Structure 1
């Protein structure tokens, strides 16, 4: 489904050719190398991967009708590491001075919390590397009306694209292939009658249309635009961006001594209400963002399947941004989640075993970051961001750094670094960061604008 989902954007992609004069799209060719640094790394067959990729992006500030933010990369000798990331591909029509109609995959700031933490609460998230998630736009029709100091936005769609996680494959023996270090493989063995038996998985993959053809709608109200004191309120009814996984144990295969397990994904819906209140000045921006996530109680699984049960959750994130010098921005933020647990219901469900479905990456965190965007000379520009995220509740520390030095109009060198220190996973401490405790990573590369 990771490739077929992108076929939905082919009609919009034709706009790149049909309206070349309506948008300036910057194109960049990249050569990259990923290296995993931890001595305890055991998530894949390789410790180094080479990529060739391309970026296509329009200027996010201009009012060009066509908006594009697309990135793709091919991994030599490791096809499961290749990816296409379509963050935005939309076309904008100005009905009049106060109304704008947009169609396609379009990024909007529905919630400050969701965008800052890339949480996948409202907008889906690109999780090729779960340690560095990136928000993607919702796909559908958008209508905005500006009335003085307020703006109302309506969204509707019959197309649903969930979080885009790491690619995976299952071999002929029902085992998940060790071809992607970012894919969390499920358990490989189970105890049957006090004996350990290897698990053979059968993924009951639904048709793409059964997943993609889902309805969504939402409304957002922004007030205080043009003033220092602003607020935002949004409410949406849509599918959860994370697929729910149900499973059913089969019989023990005597010839192979394997336990057969069927796994099926399903789309679950939820109601999300979010609110932001903040101050925005020339050098300071601070406020608080909150959201209430209420999953529906629909049961889309058959009675003999084990299924996840999602509880309601309340999320809150105060934040503070400061322009400390020209081109230097300091940010501090906190996140807390109350509720949001996932239990299981079914013939084989157990309260002592965590659910195989996922929802939030973690439940509490503090983060501080520093962004730099400085032009050193006429032809040299430095773009850099470093962040430190720490969680007492989920017991992890994550250091991230990314940099880009443009030493001409065409050439640049780029790098990324991620270092993780996390406690072991337990039934009471499930989080995505600890899943990749040994995936310390360094990426270096070069880019050429064409």
Structure 2
């Protein structure tokens, strides 16, 4: 996400979460891989609750200090994740939650990825609560946040969240139909923000404030920002509906998934009121979050053969334009048309140890942002210009056991991404050594870079290129 994405998410987090200034740290170890309440079977009779969890202690060091915020250079974080499934004869209860706290800053966060109750049916189930579904492969793989919201306190560790509402699901191996309706929508979440001497600030390395300079009649004026946060019910009491259909078995052979819906956009719009005294070179701007809707649709066509899975995806949305009252401006979201391809395969038959490899490509057309006035004409000042982090990117991911030391596994996770529009790259690495089945020692790092710092200065990779970092810690899985 770019700056606008984070400001909108942060405005929502002011009223929907406690101080959300930590980084998302719910990376999963192999023992906990794939833990998702919606993936667990709901067809068995009553039995003891199934509980999965992970505790992680991590220290992180950024290589470049922030001059005016030296406390953001180093952090120590304790986080935990817990997934629970309780099956009874008639109903099943599931939850997947995470929480974390920084020792040095006294900041904490809580995430509810899933929490729902479902009927215990053989093929047909009805669920109520927050639940993840496979609406779009592209949305899931690239964390676009167009279908399901994203919790992104740390831009390099986004967490996909489920939609909240009522689900009706008829599911067999050969086909599936899902209906969804809701009276509420929980938007994307990001770092918290605050007013600071006329600017907008955050205790996060992953926030960039909007410009404080405004050209008025060929004179540079200073912008002074204020936040006007509405009641939280006004941000979440926005309903919607969607449907998804699948033909074929995603575990083998050809398959197609088609999804469509009319839902609130997970990114909040930013509405602003500006006041300028004629005699002063200063503009007072009050920023308020606003909800709009979009029509969203996606198609996935895939083929699975053994350990190889190939997918081609298309996703589009058409946001509704809101015209503000006179003397106000608001963001107009441009429609998105996105295309992606992906291939996943396991090298278990090639190498001695199993290693999973993924190749993915994403192309986005549209997705810009233009501030408009009450009559729909473009405003002379636009706070942020893009809805997504990446728009023309290729990435490769690798995960698996690469070696054994003292008869214990040594595991790696690796991701390299290059965005052609931004002429920049992102490298993520993590290594884990398991001295026992439940404990792991980990080290990792993230490197961002661009070929030309003067090219696409508002791009995600350019804006955050100073956020190279390394980290280490331990995890316990149960």
| TM-score normalised by the chain length of structure 1 | 0.85
Unaligned runs of 5+ in 2: 1-11, 19-45
Cα deviations by residue, 1:201-230 (Å, 9 ceiling, x for unpaired): 111111100001110210000111264111
Matches within 5 A, 1:275-294: 275-294=299-318
**Cα contact 1:125–1:133 (8 A) shared by 2:** yes
- Which residue in 2 is equivalent to 1:342? 369
Task: Please state if 1:221 is matched with 2:245.
Answer: yes
Task: Please state if 1:329 is matched with 2:356.
Answer: yes
SS state at 1:306 partner: strand
User: How far apart are 1:340 and its partner, in Å?
Assistant: 2.1
- Which residue in 1 is equivalent to 2:153? 128
User: How far apart are 1:113 and its partner, in Å?
Assistant: 0.5
Distance 1:328 1:185, change over 3 A: same
SS state at 1:224 partner: strand
- Which residue in 2 is equivalent to 1:365? 393
Residue in structure 1 matching 2:295, options 263, 271, 280: 271
Distance in 2 (CA, whole Å) between partners of 1:170 and 1:2 is 15
Distance 1:332 1:227, change over 3 A: closer
Residue in structure 1 matching 2:137, options 99, 112, 137: 112
- Which residue in 2 is equivalent to 1:17? none
Distance 1:30 1:48, change over 3 A: same
**Cα contact 1:311–1:339 (8 A) shared by 2:** yes
SS state at 1:65 partner: strand
Distance in 2 (CA, whole Å) between partners of 1:440 and 1:43 is 18
SS state at 2:139 partner: helix
Distance 1:186 1:375, change over 3 A: same
- Which residue in 1 is equivalent to 2:166? 141
Distance 1:164 1:358, change over 3 A: farther
Unaligned runs of 5+ in 1: 8-19
Task: Please state if 1:210 is matched with 2:234.
Answer: yes
- Which residue in 1 is equivalent to 2:13? 2
User: How far apart are 1:351 and its partner, in Å?
Assistant: 7.1
Cα deviations by residue, 1:57-115 (Å, 9 ceiling, x for unpaired): 3489xxx9333332211123435x63222222223322x31112222221111101001
Distance 1:385 1:439, change over 3 A: same
Between 103-112 and 232-241, the greater mean CA deviation after superposition:
103-112
- Which residue in 2 is equivalent to 1:432? 460
- Which residue in 2 is equivalent to 1:390? 418
**Cα contact 2:322–2:332 (8 A) shared by 1:** no
Distance 1:123 1:174, change over 3 A: same
Distance in 1 (CA, whole Å) between partners of 2:179 and 2:231 is 29
Task: Please state if 1:28 is matched with 2:28.
Answer: no
Residue in structure 1 matching 2:93, options 66, 77, 93: 66
SS state at 2:195 partner: coil
Between 306-315 and 136-145, the greater mean CA deviation after superposition:
306-315
Matches within 5 A, 1:214-253: 214-225=238-249, 227-252=252-277
Cα deviations by residue, 1:172-219 (Å, 9 ceiling, x for unpaired): x33323522112212234455666554321111111000011102100
**Cα contact 1:25–1:56 (8 A) shared by 2:** yes
- Which residue in 2 is equivalent to 1:408? 436
**Cα contact 2:192–2:202 (8 A) shared by 1:** no
- Which residue in 1 is equivalent to 2:475? 447
Distance 1:355 1:175, change over 3 A: closer
User: How far apart are 1:363 and its partner, in Å?
Assistant: 1.4
Distance in 1 (CA, whole Å) between partners of 2:401 and 2:94 is 23
**Cα contact 1:51–1:75 (8 A) shared by 2:** yes
Distance 1:271 1:151, change over 3 A: same
Distance in 2 (CA, whole Å) between partners of 1:304 and 1:276 is 44
- Which residue in 2 is equivalent to 1:14? none
User: How far apart are 1:318 and its partner, in Å?
Assistant: 0.8
- Which residue in 1 is equivalent to 2:7? none
Residue in structure 2 matching 1:152, options 177, 188, 191: 177
- Which residue in 1 is equivalent to 2:284? 260
RMSD: 3.1
**Cα contact 2:64–2:466 (8 A) shared by 1:** yes
**Cα contact 2:81–2:97 (8 A) shared by 1:** yes
User: How far apart are 1:119 and its partner, in Å?
Assistant: 0.9
- Which residue in 2 is equivalent to 1:83? 109
